[in-house]
Amino acid sequence: MTAFPALLAAQSALEPGGGNASRILRLGQGVVLLLAVIFIAVMILSVIPLMRRHRGIEQEPLERRHQPSEATERKLTMVVGSAVGATVVILLGLVVVSVVVGKSISTAAMPSNAITVEVTGNQWWWNVRYMNNDASKIVVTANELHIPVGRPVVIRGMSNDVIHSFWVPGLQGKRDLIPSRVNTEWIQADRAGFFRGQCAEFCGLQHAHMAMWVVAEPEDKFDAWLSHQAQDAAAPSTEELQRGQQVFLGSACILCHHIQGTDAGGLVGPDLTHFGSRMTIAAGTLANDKGNLAGWIADPQGIKPGTKMATVPVKSEDMQPLIDYLESLQ
């Protein structure tokens, strides 16, 4: 099994991997701290009177109409007035601070050397396309986002079916992906590492199994990865792999999946050109290894009930060549 990075650390807004997430975290911490102080102060202030004996019970017998003294009136006005004032100031302050932080992580504040990645939500997986003004350098992959450390990445979020939400807690806040609209945000990782992302808007049966991994790696490693992903799929090198390719091309697979460099041209499922190089299958549901892949192909509905991956019968003698071939697509 491919080493799955520790889930808790990988999908946590408390362990930011970049400036944007840090700002969100600091904002969160600040707000929590301030509100905690206020909460404690209010609690103390409300507990104190309970502890104190009420002098008024002896001095001022309860009447039908209670007329507080002028001094009490003044005191109360001052207390309530300053409490209201403090609330307004604090709320305003919080609004100002969150707007400032919001602006600082918005695409307007993004450095100019960004790379653009188009992320399209589908039930229930992510299509990822690395854009480039030179169209021939565009790279398509799925459910896995590689980004260079220290370089901003613009996410152009779209959706093909229902509303999804792109959320990699370690890197940035949520951004809804809405059909027929483009919503953008930018992420930047300041350290290498793995970050787990998760659809954050309920999108149907397998919403919970709609995850993605973001791999932040040094720029040279990223460049190597990107230029490799732009290549055609590896041609099958052995007879067994050739048979696997024949199985793939001769079955229902090609109706939905694309393998660049072959006749498989389907575009409604994830691109499989470099399938073997990915960490997971079924949008972060399973580690990408041969056993899981065989199970996934044989019974996708058993693993991810409701998935749009069709249950396509594969003859038992065809299964091994098929998964060998798919895993060879490094």
Partner 1 sequence: MTDSLGAKLHRRGTMAIPNTIAAAAALFCFAGILLPQIQNEADDGQWTMAAKNPASTRYSALSQITTANAKNLKLAWTFSTGLTKGHEAAPLVVNNTMYIVTPWPNILYALDLTNPGATKWTYSPHPSASSQGTACCDVVNRGAVYYKGKIFYNTLDNYTVAVDATTGKQVWKTLMGDINKGESMTMAPIVAGGKVIVGNSGGEFGVHGWMAGLETETGKITWRAYATGPDSQVLIGPDFKPFYAKDRGKDLGVKTWQGDQWKIGGGSGWSWISYDPDLDLIYYGTSNPGPWNADMRPGDNKWTCTLFARKPETGQAVWAYQINPHDNHDYDGVNENILLDLTIHGQVRKVLAHPDRNGRMYLMDRTTGEVLSAEAFAYVNTSDSVDLKTGRLHETDAKKTGFKTVRDICPAPPGGKDWQPSSFSPRTGLIYIPHNNLCAEMSGTPANYIAGTPYVGSDVRMYPGPGGNRGALTAWDPVAAKPVWSVKEMFPAWSGTVVTAGDVVFYGTMDGWFKALDAHNGNLLWKFKVGSGVIGQPISYKGPDGKQYVAVLAGVGGWSGAIVSGGLNAADGTAALGFVNAMADLPKYTTTGGMLYVFSLP
Partner 2 sequence: MSSRYLRVAGVFFSLLGVACQREERDLRPAPTRLAMPGPAARESLLQPGGPQETLTPVNPAEGNGYAISEGQRLFNAYNCSGCHSHGGGGIGPPLIKDVWIYGNDPAVLFDTIVKGRPNGMPSWGGRLPEYEIWQIVAYIRSLNNLEPKSVTPTRSDSIEQNSHTLTPPPEPKPQ
For 85-178, list the strands marked E by DSSP. Answer: 115-122, 125-130, 139-142, 144-148, 153-159, 164-166, 175-177
Q: Is residue 140 helix, strand or coil?
A: strand
With CB under 5 to 8 Å by kind, the binding choice for 140 among partner 2, partner 1, none is partner 1
Binding site for partner 1 (CB under 8 A): 131, 134-136, 138, 140, 158, 160, 180-182, 230, 232, 254-256, 258, 260-261, 263, 265-268
Q: Are 121 and 158 in contact (CB under 8 A)?
A: yes
| Backbone φ, ψ for residue 216 (5° rounding) | -95, 125
Q: Give the binding-site size for partner 2 (rule: CB under 8 A).
A: 15
d(CA 107, CA 282): 30
Q: Are 181 and 164 in contact (CB under 8 A)?
A: no
With CB under 5 to 8 Å by kind, the binding choice for 263 among partner 2, partner 1, none is partner 1
Q: Are 290 and 323 in contact (CB under 8 A)?
A: yes
> Is residue 310 part of the contact set for partner 2 (CB under 8 A)?
yes
With CB under 5 to 8 Å by kind, the binding choice for 258 among partner 2, partner 1, none is partner 1
CB closer to partner 2 out of 196 and 257 = 257
With CB under 5 to 8 Å by kind, the binding choice for 136 among partner 2, partner 1, none is partner 1
CB of 256 to partner 2, least distance (A): 7
Q: What is the DSSP string of 191-223?
A: S-EEEEEE--S--STTGGG-EEEEEEE-HHHHH
CB closer to partner 2 out of 21 and 303 = 303
d(CA 212, CA 315): 31
> Is residue 255 part of the contact set for partner 2 (CB under 8 A)?
yes
The contact pattern for partner 2, residues 311-330, with x = CB under 8 A and - = no contact, is xxx-----------------
With CB under 5 to 8 Å by kind, the binding choice for 131 among partner 1, partner 2, none is partner 1
d(CA 107, CA 186): 6
**Which residues make up the interface to partner 2 (CB under 8 A)?**
251-252, 255-256, 268, 299, 301-302, 305-306, 308, 310-313
